[in-house]
Amino acid sequence: MAYDVSCQMEYGGKSLEQAANDAVFKQLKKMGGEGGLIAVDAKGTICLPFNTEGMYRGWKNNHQTVTQIL
């Protein structure tokens, strides 16, 4: 999935959010899969899409550490 997101951004001109959402909500679902991504781009943008009932996730930057359980 990470490779696909990277290609969508590099060759398709999509933002991190657009590419990650496409990978999780369209492509992964089309394969019958469930899951999610913790994705970060070169600018430090964080995107955390998931298509499951819940997903543990977390991230850290210079100012804070965040853990979410949804």
Write the CATH number for 27. Answer: 3.60.20.30
Q: What is the pLDDT of residue 66?
A: 64
Provide the number of structural domains found in the chain.
1
The proportion of the chain whose per-residue pLDDT surpasses 90, expressed as a percent, equals 60
Residue numbers of the domain that contains 35: 2-69
Backbone angles phi and psi of 54, in degrees to 5: -160, 160
64 — pLDDT class (breaks 50, 70, 90): low
Beta-carbon contacts of 45 under 8 Å, excluding residues fewer than 6 positions away, are 15, 16, 17
Question: What confidence tier does 56 reach under pLDDT thresholds 50, 70, 90?
Answer: confident
Which of 4-36 are b and which e, b meaning 16 or more Cβ less than 10 Å from the residue's Cβ?
ebeebbeeeebebeebbbbbbeeebeeeeeeeb
> In the prediction, which pLDDT does 69 show?
53
When pLDDT is cut at 50, 70 and 90, the band that residue 4 belongs to is very high
Return d(Cα 1, Cα 15) in angstroms, integer: 15
